[in-house]
Structures are given as structure tokens and as C-alpha cells.
Homo-oligomer: A and B are copies of this chain.
Amino acid sequence: MAEVKVIGSWSSPYTRKVEMALKMKGVEYDYIEEDLKNKSPLLLQHNPIHKKVPVLLHNGKPIVESMVILEYIDEVWEGPAILPKDPYDRAMARFWVKFIDDKCIPAMWKACWSVGEEQEKLKEEAKEALKYLENEIKGKKLFGGDKIGIVDHAANFIAYWFPITADFVGLRLMTENEFPNLYRWADDYCSDTFVKENLPHKDGYIAILKTI
């Protein structure tokens, strides 16, 4: 029995970033696919509060919330750093992770699944948040500098899942014209050999979208 397990969903950006962090560190783990439409007793036992994936089980002890898991992985295992080493850079990284999680992703996702006035409001909210990210990535290859870091992982939804979802529902929000630097970053991030291997297949993800 492996000491490390991930309870996840293959199409979830949150699960993928945890798996990528473990792989970056060279940690072997067992992967347990969760059926989100019929949640397992295992998931409910280990994440009784949020009932969400991913859950990391380390020697039987659960850790939940993807960014809490990423900090944990960085602290427990050797290997390439996920957070920067310098305390100020770490604070900035934590700031952007929180900003992406709180301000960008919820508005972007909800904008995909709303209509009319509500959608317009969410689009504006998302664009306002994305402008700060656009400005932050200007002149940088990746949020983590030259190497993929915690902010790049935090933004993985913006790079890969969102464009597919927006295209699927016919939403124009993050255009290349308005967000040239974010576009270029998303391309760089998704073209990275390691990242590319760890993204869900587009057709499979679209099949999931059709069931929403």
C-alpha cells in the first residue's frame, strides 16, 4: 500500500495541480478516481466539510484544499521548489494564488453558465480581475519566473480549462486582443512538455461539459 494517495477527478484543474506537484517532486502515489455525481464514503470520510476533490492522503492523514496541499507537498518532499524561497516572493505568490482563487476563477466559471445581465456583470468582474493578472505577467515568461511555480499552477484553469469551456458555451471574455500577455503565458504554460502530459484530453473534457 502506497503511503501517498490522491482522491481526485481526472477532469478537475484542482486535482491536476496536486498531481503535477507530486510528480514534480518525484513522489509516487496511488490515484483514486472519484465519481462526483455519486460521492464515495471515502471522500466524505476524509473531506466531510467541503466534500470536494482533491484530497491528499499521507499515511492515512487527509489534507484538503488544493493550495493547502501544494504548500504541504513543498514542505514535506525534497525536489524542485513549488513556492519561491525568498519570504517576500513567497508572500507575493500566496497573494496571487488567493487572488486567482477568489477573484478570477469563480467569476470566469460563473460567467460561462449564466445569461443576460448577470452574465454581463460577471464578465466585467472577471475582466477587471484578469487585467491585474495581465499586468503581472507582462515581461515575464511565467508567474514563477523562468520555472513553473505555484501561481502558474493556481492559474491552470485560466490557461487550459477556461478557453475550452468559453469556446464550448460561446462566451467571449478573455480575448487575445485585450489580454495579449495572458494569452502568451497560457500558450507557454500549456506547451510545456510536463504540463502537456498532465492535462486532461480536450475531447474528454468537452464530453463532461456536455453533461453539465
Interface membership of A90, Cβ < 8 A:
yes
Interface membership of A196, Cβ < 8 A:
no
Q: Which of A58, A61, A63 has the largest count of B CB atoms less than 10 A from its CB?
A: A63
* Residues of chain B within 8 A of A179, CB atoms compared: none
- CB contact list, A123-179 vs B, under 8 A: 132
Are the CB atoms of B98 and A72 closer together than 8 Å? no
Are the CB atoms of B90 and A71 closer together than 8 Å? yes
Interface membership of A109, Cβ < 8 A:
no
Interface membership of A69, Cβ < 8 A:
yes
Are the CB atoms of B49 and A69 closer together than 8 Å? no
Are the CB atoms of B132 and A95 closer together than 8 Å? no
Closest to A86 in B: B75
Interface membership of A64, Cβ < 8 A:
yes
* Residues of chain B within 8 A of A63, CB atoms compared: 88, 91, 95
18 A-B pairs in the complex with CB atoms less than 8 angstroms apart: A49-B99, A49-B132, A58-B88, A61-B88, A63-B91, A64-B95, A65-B94, A65-B98, A68-B94, A68-B95, A68-B98, A71-B90, A71-B91, A71-B94, A72-B88, A72-B91, A75-B87, A75-B90
Give the interface of A toward B (CB within 8 A): 49, 58, 61, 63-65, 68-69, 71-72, 75-76, 87-88, 90-91, 94-95, 98-99, 132
